[in-house]
Amino acid sequence: MESKSRGAFVSASTCSKADRGRTKISRCKMKYKESVASGAVEGFAKPSKVERLHVRTPLVVNEKMSSVLGVEVLLKLENTQPSGSFKIRGIGYMCAKAKQGGARRFVSSSGGNAGAAVAHAGKMLGVETVVCVPSTTPVFMQKKLKSLGSHVVVEGSEWKHADELAREMSSDPSSIYVPPFDHKDIWEGGSSLVHEVYEDLGGQPPASIGLSVGGGGLLLSVCRGLEAVGWQSTSVLAAETEGADSLAATLGKGELVDLPEITSIAKSLGANRVSSAVLPQARRLSISSVVVSDKEAVEACGKFLVNERFLVEPACGATLAIGYNKNLIPARLQGPLVLIVCGGNIVTPSLLQEWKAQTDAQWDDFST
C-alpha cells in the first residue's frame, strides 16, 4: 500500500503534515490526556481513569532505509518521549494507577531508561521517588535522576544488588516497587504505541514491526497491542546484540535461558533473562530473533545521528541496524516495516565516539 493513500501518518484532528525532503514527517501537538485503567495495581485500590504521562510520537517515512531495504520503512520516534524513551508509556501508566490507588512513593532499581521514566512520572505526579542503582551507573545519569527530584541510592556493583534493596524499600505499605519491564500494567500502558500506529495507518497492518529486546517489556507491550487491534498477522523482528541475546537463546531452546553474563556494550539490553511471559506470547504471534554485533549497533547509531540528527544508544541501534542491512530482514518481507526508535538516556557524543573506537565501527559526517 503506497504511503500517499494513507494520508497523514498522525491523526488529522491533532496534527499537520510537513515534507522535509528526505523524510516525510508529521508534527503532533503533544497533549497529556487521561487513559482508562483496566485494573488495580496489586495492593492498591482500582482507579477509574489515570493521567497519561506519555505523548503521542510521530510515525515517519525514512527514505534512506526504504531505499536500502527495498520496502517502505516507517520510524516510530519514541526517542521524543519526555523521559527520553518508550519506557514512560508503560511505567507512567503503572505509576499513575498506583498513585490513584493510594501509593505515595515509587521505588525503582534502574539507573537507565526505566529509572528515568519512574523519575519523570514521580515529578509529573508529585510523588516521592527513590531510584536504586548499581555503582556502574554513569555519574551523568545519576545527576539526571536527581535533577528530576528522585532520591538516588547507590547499592552494589550489579543491578541485582540494587534491585534487592529496591524491593526491600518498597515493603512500606504506602510504597510501590516499579520493575523495569516485568509487569502487566507496564505492558498495558506500552501497548498504546501500537494503537497510535493503527490510527496513523488507517487500520492497515504493517508487514512487520522491528524493536529492541532487553527484558521483553517493549516486546510484550507491542504484542499486546497487536492482539488488541487485530493485527495478529503482523510479525515482530526482535533485535538484540551479541552478548545480550537472552531472547534468542530462549527462543532457540524453547525455554527460559539465563545468560551467565552480559558482555555487550548495549547495557540497556542487559537482562540476563527475558520475562516468563515471552514464551507464551511467542506461541501466539510470529516473533523472529535478529542478533547483531556491537559494531553493527554502534554503526547504526552513528549513521542515524548523521542522517536524522538524533542521538540514541546502542540498545536502540540494534533495531536501527535492521534498517541499514537488507540481510537482516526476511527475504519475502513486502512492507511496510515499522521500526521503533526506542530512544535511550545512557548516551553522550563522547560515549558514542568511545564505542566507535572500541568496536571499530565506521561512518563519516556525510554518508551512510
Q: Please write the tens of the pLDDT for every residue from 40-72.
A: 455 544 444 777 999 999 999 999 999 999 999
Q: Residue 11 pLDDT more than 50? A: no
pLDDT score at 41: 53
pLDDT reported for residue 39: 56
Mean pLDDT of 257-274: 84
Q: Would the pLDDT of 36 be above 90?
A: no
Q: Output the furthest CA–CA distance in the chain (Å, rounded).
A: 56
Contact between 27 and 16 under an 8 Å Cβ cutoff? The reply is yes
pLDDT tens-digit profile of 346-367?
999 999 999 999 999 999 887 5
Q: Return d(Cα 355, Cα 299) in angstroms, integer.
A: 9
Percent of the chain with pLDDT over 70: 86
- Can you tell me the mean pLDDT for 87-108? 96
The helix, strand and coil proportions of the chain, stated in percent and rounded to the nearest 5, come to: 40, 20, 40
Model confidence pLDDT, tens digit, residues 202-211: 999 999 999 9
Is 90 exceeded by the pLDDT of residue 217? yes
Average pLDDT score over residue span 226-232: 97
Cα separation, 315 vs 332, whole angstroms: 26
**Cell 537463546 found at:** 249
Q: How far is CA 341 from the centre of its chain?
A: 7
Q: Which pLDDT value is given to residue 34?
A: 52
Query: Could you check whether the bond before residue 336 is cis, i.e. omega within 30 degrees of 0?
Result: yes
Residue 117's contacts (CB-CB under 8 Å, 6 or more residues apart) are: 83, 85, 87, 88, 91, 92
Name the more confident of 186 and 27: 186
**Concatenated DSSP letters for 73-129?**
EEEEEGGGSTTSBTHHHHHHHHHHHHHHTT--EEEE--SSHHHHHHHHHHHHHT-EE
Say what the pLDDT of residue 68 is.
96
Nine cell digits for residue 162: 540494587
How far is residue 219's CA from residue 158's CA, in Å, rounded to a whole number? 24
